[in-house]
Chain A
Amino acid sequence: MPVFQVKAIIIENSQMARDIWRMKIYSPEITKAAYPGQFLMLRVRDELLPLLRRPFSFSTINVSEGIFSILYKVVGHGTRLMTKMLAGESVGVLAPLGRGFSKPPDGTKRVWLLAGGIGIAPFFALLEMLKRDSSKLEISLFYGAATGEELVDCRFFENNNCKVNLCTDDGTCGLHGLITDSVERACSLTILPDFFYSCGPTPMQSKVIEWAKCNGIRGQVSMETYMACGMGVCLGCSISKKFFTGNKNEETNYLRVCREGPVFSIGEEN
């Protein structure tokens, strides 16, 4: 699998919700090689602050135009600088990296997408892939954020026949509660999915994995961690295998989110 280290031109950089931005970047070679669920390491600028590249998942992958996009949340110095960048400027991109999402098993009818906060990012590209491969899939999105102002526009999902279920921690939009509350509620009202994809903060993923195991549902989770290199070298992004298996008695072994992930399978051997 090729990895490219390039300077790429920003096509667009605009705000999508409170503290949530989308940056579109032109790079035909990366766009062509990228797969939903994979990520890139972005070098915001060639300065000492921030020092390291920042990891972002591919949010949209438009091969015909040679443009991909990332959806990012403004959380620190690096992402604050990113909001100041303009179309026409260039950024350093190292990509595509890691293992992305794979297709649901044959015979899958219902798929749930579970997105916590900025975890919505890779689901744009994933939904396109799922629809392209199987137009008959019944797909529902469960999407939550701290508050309504932090939810990005979901028309893309609705327009692709994906049922959207929103929730917020403060109740300002959709169901009042966490994404896992929203999922639990849906479980009691409708038929369970055959497969799920989940992306969000680690505490959410932990609950999602527990829910999936209790209900015997297979799926894939995309993990968020700090990374220095993104290429399996620094060993800074490691996560315990136990996190996915739930088996507290097994020997501690670490998996690199950047290489063995960021997408990990749940309900089957990794």
Chain B
Amino acid sequence: MNQENSVINLEVTLGPLKLPNPVMVASGTFGYGLEYSSLLDISKLGGIVVKGLSLKPRPGNPPPRIVETCAGLINSIGLENVGVEDFINKKLPLLLKRDVPVIVNILGNTVEEYAEVGNILSDAEGISALEINISCPNVKSGGIIFGTDPKQAYNVVSAVRKNTSLPLITKLTPNVTDIGMMAKVVVEAGTDIISAINTVSAMAVDINTRKPKLANVFGGLSGPAIKPIALKKVWDVVNTVDVPVIGIGGISSYEDALEFLLIGAQAIQVGTANFINPGTSIEIIEGIRSFLERNNIDDINKFIGSLELDTAK
């Protein structure tokens, strides 16, 4: 970092969560944090959101689990993960040596499971925040997705809230009619921060074999294809609630990242782009810094939420 660069402030404060810069890597696209560490300096990241963890290890869905579509990727990994205990014992100690904020994504099939995972992680040292993935089915309620039902979403978030004093992020699904309403509900339930969006419900079929391209029939779409959808959903959330918002969805360049910041997201997460170029997030941080420098802006916070709307009708 040269002298000139160092005067630009990239630090952002999301309620109780302070980050060295607004660029994080999204859950499920960066493993448990160290898989890519041979290719890039992960300590430069604003934060690492590790793969979603459940109480017990989950094997995940049968293959095929992924299919590429136009500028996008549909996945149905099925939340495969090593489980919270294994993460704390084997993965977390190595990750904490890297001096980067570690945010742990959590999931469950019941309200109680979410609460217990939250509780266990609160006792672990060094975690910066929890991110609740509410895009899971509730097995006790006929498989309704927690994040698509206001009451269930409220129950999950408030249950985790009771069990942790860590900063709490709730990651919203876009697969609802009114994401603003869902945002209100999770804020009432006690979330400190909202991240949005998770993947967009999608499917792909093969006309020759007449079969679905995913064993699970449908999955979640990510990648550049969903960026305009994500931007609108984040806009809806930003304009409905007062808590800080983390923008996610198809971000692959510093320009993409700045678009989310411009409309009021205070940080962003890079997802699918990590698969193509593991260094994307680092390049985005450098790109944002150069952009601010070119435009004589000394603090990223002066750019955040600075979208100009033509109010004259």
**Nearest opposing residue in chain B for A225, CB measure:** B63
**B:254-290 near A, CB below 8 Å:** 272, 274-279
Q: Is B73 an interface residue (CB 8 A)?
A: yes
Interface contact A235-B274, CB-CB below 8 Å: no
Contacts of A3 in B (CB 8 A): 38-39
Chain A interface, >50% SS class = loop
Roughly how many angstroms separate A252 CA and B58 CA in the complex, as a whole number? 10
Roughly how many angstroms separate A48 CA and B253 CA in the complex, as a whole number? 12
Contacts of A238 in B (CB 8 A): 60, 63, 65, 80
Contacts of A254 in B (CB 8 A): 59-60, 63, 80
Roughly how many angstroms separate A5 CA and B38 CA in the complex, as a whole number? 10
Question: How many CB-defined contacts (below 8 Å) exist between A and B?
Answer: 90
Contacts of B71 in A (CB 8 A): 48-49, 51
Interface size class of A (residues with CB under 8 A): 20 to 34
From A2, A237, A253, B59 is in contact (CB under 8 Å) with A253
From B70, B77, B224, A235 is in contact (CB under 8 Å) with B77
Interface contact A5-B39, CB-CB below 8 Å: yes
**CB proximity of B219 to chain A, nearest CB, Å:** 10
Chain B interface, >50% SS class = loop
**A:17-58 near B, CB below 8 Å:** 43, 48-53
Interface contact A226-B67, CB-CB below 8 Å: yes
**Nearest opposing residue in chain A for B252, CB measure:** A48
Contacts of B36 in A (CB 8 A): 231, 233
Roughly how many angstroms separate A3 CA and B62 CA in the complex, as a whole number? 29
Interface contact A49-B31, CB-CB below 8 Å: no
Contacts of B66 in A (CB 8 A): 226-228, 234, 236-237
Interface contact B77-A233, CB-CB below 8 Å: no
Q: Which A residues are closer than 8 A to B by beta carbons?
A: 2-3, 5, 43, 48-53, 92, 225-229, 231-240, 251-254
Q: Which B residues are closer than 8 A to A by beta carbons?
A: 28-31, 35-36, 38-39, 59-60, 62-68, 70-73, 75, 77, 80, 223-224, 272, 274-279
